[in-house]
Structure 1
């Protein structure tokens, strides 16, 4: 194809790369006299009504993505078709970016944490702009990210994976048998055929994991293995692969790799801000040599062929969820510390109930409330230990009630009295339980509670 003229205007100069959808060429725009990049979508070559329909839809989708104008997104200048009537091939004309792909950088090993944070934040800026325009990328991976000599990120192929899907329909992304995206970076919901903007953040989580550890969060012998891992396996903490990884990186990456899209960052803009905070944080040291560095010869690391079947690669060792870190652990501990006090209050109200002069209605209310608080705090601690954000909300709600309840027993004793055996409940257990519950609420609502670490047993 070298020296071929596309659209009567773009002269192909040299091939820059090749992927699952086609080839990328450096070309010369002979009308404007400038260099450009041309992507020839050979995946959609061919004739017949079905081929014509697929190319027409591709060009329609490409016109939508061409509306994106952002400093971190490669700009689409033009699009068209080339070839004969029986063998037409669509092509895209883009700005020619001088730089190096992240896939090439990864073949040399891990990158410094500040670089990973800075590049990740710029990828998020691009995603935020596209998501605001109603466009998802669907194929975030190293070969779609270019770094210019000045350190600026350029994201390639926004929406192209969707546009090139020959089975796409108006109401569904794809049909069974065609994968839109790259399995090694694919979010669980995207693997099921229902991507959403958060799916791009999941893929970015895989990319960040790879940048700071030198390997993907999951490894598998084939495409089905990758999809199964994303759907069912818990990812390891980056620090379990690269030991010098700070806890803040563990928290951020594992949040992105949550199976539930609602438990990830709300949007790309929030994630960009979090990554810039990591960029400003002091680096504890250069990343250690990864336990299993990326091997350019390993087909599982071939990031330029999204639909090829990788070679045999051993599965990662089993990793089980362990202790949550930071404020989450404190919230769980304090919530559990409330339980003995609440159970003591319930037992003493039973004893109080045996007093014929006691106000039985008030006692019954205390018992029911105490039991409900005990169950709520125990359930919240359990959910939070399993990295479920519902646990934080449950501790906040029932902990607040427990704090008020603990204080109220002192007031109740002073107002209605009671036997001496209940005095220790009123003046010791109740206030102590209130204090523990109140602090548990404070720890549970802190923002970092939703971020986690997984530790090897």
Structure 2
């Protein structure tokens, strides 16, 4: 379809994405000379009375959703049909937003708790506007939540899932078993064919669960399994999968995931306020319990400040900390070997004890060295922390078994303390391994 002219006005430039309903293209509005996004609903392409009826209904319902005007909702500029060469598939013309989908953010594992709370609240702002206009989304999921280059939310495809249902009727969604929406994020009442505004909040609960734990609340091999789970199983508490999660997150997410719509938040605005209160939640329960201890307060602040950084900033800080910690620790190694050899020669320790201690030092050096290339991963940071703290403790240990080592130990203890602090700080930096934990 590249370079095709749709509606005599929109020339397709490049494909931006593809899903179950069709493709999204970057296009040029030949009339106004601006770039736009065009979504071609190929699902409704085809000939025959049934196809014509489905397309006409889609365009009627798309006009209703096109009335939504809100900073958190992608604006629809125009709509039409693509022409006989494309099976008369209907299309939507929308504002072209620069950024990336929340599904991409999830795959990168770069979503902090603060971002999850803030973006969830912004999705609620969009839902508040839509629900007030009588429009339900019906398909809240990561790929329909777009994060702009300024870090703000834009929600896509309001009502498109319902409008694109080829089996829908005026009174019911379907009489043939067709389910509107994405089963992994579908509220129980929506799975039964009776969605309501609160169904969008349930889907938001599934999305938030995935953002903060790296997986969906229910694991199933197929559509039927997911629908059955939403209908009959209770979701686990997010903190059962992520022990460092504040308890306030459990309360908000599990309320959104209530089976009974009446037990969820009354409105999207209520959910937005609850998420706004989570924006400053402390990410570690253990640190909360130790809140009066100044050392814990410092670490907590460091971690919160680090999580608030953009991904590039966190990556730079991780790399700088790793290099500094590694270099500081490795400085102690030659002195440690010299002290051990001197201790063996003086008879303060046996040859066997000296070999064991040198071997231990070598293992710690190897562990630290292996971790440096893997600093972008949680496992790498843990290796650096383990090796770094171990090497930092060796000078202090030398003070216990050699008079000569007392002087060496005292000289290196400040340096070792710095190395231990850097290594420990590296260990508590935000995890970026969510994509490995993520299970669709």
Q: What is the TM-score normalised by the length of structure 2?
A: 0.65
SS of the aligned residue for 1:32 comes to: coil
Mapping of residues 44-193 of structure 1, within 5 Å? 44-84=44-84, 87-109=87-109, 111-193=111-193
Instruction: Tell me the number of residue pairs that the alignment of Structure 1 and Structure 2 aligns.
Output: 298
- Going from structure 1 to structure 2, the CA distance change for 1:288 and 1:99 (only over 3 Å counts) comes to closer
Residues 336-385 of structure 1 deviation map (CA, whole Å, 9 limit, x = unaligned): xxxxxxxxxxxxxxxxxxxxxxxxxxxxxxxxxxxxxxxxxxxxxxxxxx
SS of the aligned residue for 2:225 comes to: helix
Shift of 1:88: 1.0
Equivalent residue number for residue 28 of structure 1: 28
Matched, 1:240 2:211: no
Q: Could you tell me whether the CA contact under 8 Å between 1:110 and 1:211 is conserved in 2?
A: no
Shift of 1:211: 0.4
Q: Could you tell me whether the CA contact under 8 Å between 2:59 and 2:90 is conserved in 1?
A: yes
- Going from structure 1 to structure 2, the CA distance change for 1:175 and 1:66 (only over 3 Å counts) comes to same
SS of the aligned residue for 1:107 comes to: helix
SS of the aligned residue for 1:70 comes to: coil
State the alpha-carbon separation in 2 of the partners of residues 43 and 108 from structure 1: 30
Q: Could you tell me whether the CA contact under 8 Å between 1:244 and 1:288 is conserved in 2?
A: no
Higher helix share: 2
User: Which runs of 5 or more residues in structure 2 are unaligned?
Assistant: 285-302, 308-428
Residues 150-204 of structure 1 deviation map (CA, whole Å, 9 limit, x = unaligned): 1110000000000001111111122232110000000000000000000000000
Q: Could you tell me whether the CA contact under 8 Å between 1:189 and 1:199 is conserved in 2?
A: yes
State the alpha-carbon separation in 2 of the partners of residues 109 and 66 from structure 1: 33
Equivalent residue number for residue 355 of structure 2: none
Q: Could you tell me whether the CA contact under 8 Å between 1:242 and 1:289 is conserved in 2?
A: no
State the alpha-carbon separation in 2 of the partners of residues 48 and 85 from structure 1: 15
Q: Could you tell me whether the CA contact under 8 Å between 1:38 and 1:92 is conserved in 2?
A: yes
Shift of 1:82: 1.4
State the alpha-carbon separation in 2 of the partners of residues 2 and 26 from structure 1: 10
SS of the aligned residue for 2:203 comes to: helix
Q: Could you tell me whether the CA contact under 8 Å between 1:76 and 1:95 is conserved in 2?
A: yes
- Going from structure 1 to structure 2, the CA distance change for 1:295 and 1:4 (only over 3 Å counts) comes to farther
SS of the aligned residue for 2:84 comes to: coil
- Going from structure 1 to structure 2, the CA distance change for 1:282 and 1:176 (only over 3 Å counts) comes to same
SS of the aligned residue for 2:72 comes to: coil
Residues 25-81 of structure 1 deviation map (CA, whole Å, 9 limit, x = unaligned): 000001000000000000000011110000000000000000000000000000000
Shift of 1:288: 7.2
Residues 372-426 of structure 1 deviation map (CA, whole Å, 9 limit, x = unaligned): xxxxxxxxxxxxxxxxxxxxxxxxxxxxxxxxxxxxxxxxxxxxxxxxxxxxxxx
Shift of 1:295: 4.9
Equivalent residue number for residue 221 of structure 1: 221
Equivalent residue number for residue 260 of structure 1: 260
User: Which runs of 5 or more residues in structure 1 are unaligned?
Assistant: 302-457
CA root-mean-square deviation: 1.8
Shift of 1:293: 4.3
Shift of 1:281: 3.6
Q: Could you tell me whether the CA contact under 8 Å between 2:76 and 2:94 is conserved in 1?
A: yes
- Going from structure 1 to structure 2, the CA distance change for 1:27 and 1:85 (only over 3 Å counts) comes to closer
Runs of 4+ in structure 1 displaced over 6 angstroms? none
State the alpha-carbon separation in 1 of the partners of residues 101 and 85 from structure 2: 35
Moved more, 171-180 or 276-285: 276-285
Q: What is the TM-score normalised by the length of structure 1?
A: 0.63
State the alpha-carbon separation in 2 of the partners of residues 264 and 250 from structure 1: 13
Equivalent residue number for residue 204 of structure 1: 204
Equivalent residue number for residue 279 of structure 1: 279
- Going from structure 1 to structure 2, the CA distance change for 1:89 and 1:193 (only over 3 Å counts) comes to same
State the alpha-carbon separation in 1 of the partners of residues 431 and 10 from structure 2: 45
Moved more, 112-121 or 79-88: 79-88
SS of the aligned residue for 1:216 comes to: coil
